[in-house]
Structure 1
Amino acid sequence: MPKLSYQVIIEMTNGGADYCFECVGLATLVQGRGWGKTIVLGLDKPDAQLNLSSFEVLQSQKTLTGSFFGGLKPKSDVPILVKRYLDKELELDKFVTHEVNFEDINKAFDLLIQGKSLHCVIWMDK
């Protein structure tokens, strides 16, 4: 029987991690024994449920926090970021290392896997 994700973490860290970041969007990765703070970044299916024992939360003093867009508030923060970009205060262009057409999307994944790409723009209309 394969080990559950939290079992692997407990073995790797000799007991558990103080901070965990769930980035892939699987609610099941948040469940399990342990302590410390877990920050959920990945987005699972809309109907995905977390199942935590209240005893486990109290006993382990586990903290669970979600962070959607890093706490960005789209309605108020995006216009500010756009203005800062247009005013050249926020230099995002230098972070784009590659651009590919949609039909070359696999090249973008290859560059990412090889560690050669920071951010790749995929053009849909070229």
Structure 2
Amino acid sequence: MPHKKHRDQIGRTFLARACANREIDNARIRLNERPEDIDVADNAGNTPLQIAALEGCEDIVQLLIEGGCDINCKNNDKDTPLIDAVENGHLAVVRLLLDAGADPRQGNLNGEEPLDL
């Protein structure tokens, strides 16, 4: 668990902020500096992968997958990165996640599965 000085007011690490800002070079640097932050969730339960999937950042999603992130993680609403990518129409990210082994049958709090959306 990162020290609180490594998180902002919504609980995001430097890596998560780089993902939210779509900054691939910064994300690569932050991942190399603190690989232990790869699956650290913010206050809403979103990991860097979920943030990148929401944003449709194919290059960052690929970086995180190659880094060994949990591709089936769930946030506080039980959404997975695959659900986030499907809901936001990021088809290239959907393909990356499925190719990496994301489970298309994992549902969220509403019982929605990626295949239903």
Tell me the TM-score normalised to structure 2 length.
Answer: 0.32
The structure with more strand, counted as a fraction of residues: 1
Indicate the structure whose relative CO is greater, using CA pairs within 8 Å and at least 6 residues apart. Answer: 2
- Which of structures 1 and 2 has the bigger CA Rg? 1
Would you tell me which structure has more helix in proportion to its own residues? 2
